Chains A and B, each alone.
Chain A
Amino acid sequence: MEHAFYIWCAYGACAVILAWTSIAPIIRHRRVVREQQESTKAGS
């Protein structure tokens, strides 16, 4: 395909950016829930 390098680079870069944007809050959510559970256990 003509200009395939530019097309793949553009989609690849956007996929990485958008994937990180969506994964980061999910990881953070799990961490926050885990911390909350640990503090609840420690409290009880």
Chain B
Amino acid sequence: MTPESVHKPTSRPARTNAVMLFFHHMGSPPWFYAFAGRCIPVLWVLFGVLTVTGLYLGFFKAPADYLQGESFRIMYIHVPSAWMSMMIYAGMAVMGFIALVWRIRMMEILAMCSAPVGAAFTLAALISGSLWGKPTWGTYWVWDARLTSELVLLFLYFGVMSLHSAYDDPRKGAKAACLLAVVGLVNLPIIHYSVKWWNTLHQDASIGLSGSSIHPSMLWPLLIMAIATKCFYLANLLTRARVMLLEQDSRKAWVREEVAGVRG
């Protein structure tokens, strides 16, 4: 075999087959459980390294804002949390939709496990935002469109979690909660465009697809923190999904084998 044939690029159908095979494996609980167990430590390490780097750059390298002074540094936890609150909800709704239409149990589990993490990020965004609002606006809270729609998002997360746990049959609960998640998706454009549609105290987005109005020295720590929060979400999601799988499949042979081996 020549080196050229060894390093021959993978053809498109082969790549498509590999992706299809991955998703096929994802539907198998024992495979998913083992795969998630291998990914979680890597994600935690990535989260730790990125958080330390992002906060170091944000606190010690980025200069103070000319208008807000030092208080702008709250941005490094507030903005990634707010982004995650919306991104997780969108992901949860998409997974919920797939679970409802194609009845894929793993999607149901992943959608339901996303809700508590999304709620935590929404709460973090609301609290850090109100603590940023006091020195900037002079008040912790105003009933303005952005803040109110973000609060509605928190209630939607609580609704999804409550509905899921309200049924004795976890799969029935998940179906009802997935439906609520899909319906609640309408709130995301309201949150995003609230600063454009209404006259709000909250500032307009500083980062968009066309570019950013933030200086690179302030922007890079923010982007690093944004990636760190994604690693946090994935590590948390996989941990929760493993627990839910163990609980739902407690009578199955693979769980007994797994527990006998006590792997993580």
Most chain B Cβ neighbours within 10 Å, of A6, A29, A37: A6
Q: Mark A15-26, 1 if CB is under 8 A from B, else 0.
A: 001101110111
Complex Cα gap A18–B158 (Å): 16
CB-contact partner of A29 in B81, B235, B246, B250, under 8 A: B246
Chain A positions within 8 Å of B262 at CB level: 33, 37
Q: Which residues of A contact B128 (CB under 8 A)?
A: 10-11, 13-14
- In the complex, are the beta carbons of A33 and B124 less than 8 A apart? no
How many residues from A make CB contacts under 8 Å with B? 27
User: Does B135 sit at the interface, judged by CB under 8 A?
Assistant: yes
Main secondary structure of the interface of B (DSSP, over half): helix
Chain A contacts for B70, CB-based, 8 A = 1-4, 7
Max chain B Cβ within 10 angstroms of own Cβ: one of A2, A21, A29, A37: A21
Contacting A at CB under 8 A, from B133-192, are 134-135
Is B77 a contact partner of A40 (Cβ separation < 8 A)? no
Contact A33 B259 (CB under 8 A): yes
In the assembled complex, the CB of B179 is this many whole angstroms from the nearest CB of chain A, namely 24
A21 and B120 form a contact (CB under 8 A): yes
CB distance from A18 to the nearest CB of B (A): 6
A9 within 8 A of B: yes
Do residues A6 and B71 form an inter-chain contact, with CB atoms below 8 A?
yes
Query: Contacting chain A: which of B1-9, B19-27, B237-245?
Result: B237-245
- Chain B: minimal CB distance from A34 (Å): 9
What residue in chain A is nearest B80 (Cβ atoms)? Answer: A14
State the CA gap A29–B239 with chains docked (Å).
8
In the complex, what residues of B have CB within 8 A of residue A14's CB?
Answer: 77, 81, 124, 127-128
Which chain A residues have a beta carbon within 8 Å of chain B's beta carbons? 1-4, 6-7, 9-11, 13-14, 17-18, 20-22, 24-26, 28-29, 32-33, 36-37, 39-40
Seed contacts A1-B70, A25-B239, A36-B256; 7 additional CB < 8 Å A-B pairs? A3-B135, A10-B74, A10-B128, A17-B120, A18-B120, A18-B124, A25-B240
Q: Which B residues are within 8 Å of any A CB, using their own CB?
A: 64, 69-71, 73-74, 77-78, 81, 116-117, 120, 123-124, 127-128, 131-132, 134-135, 232, 235-236, 239-240, 242-243, 246-247, 250, 255-256, 259-260, 262, 264
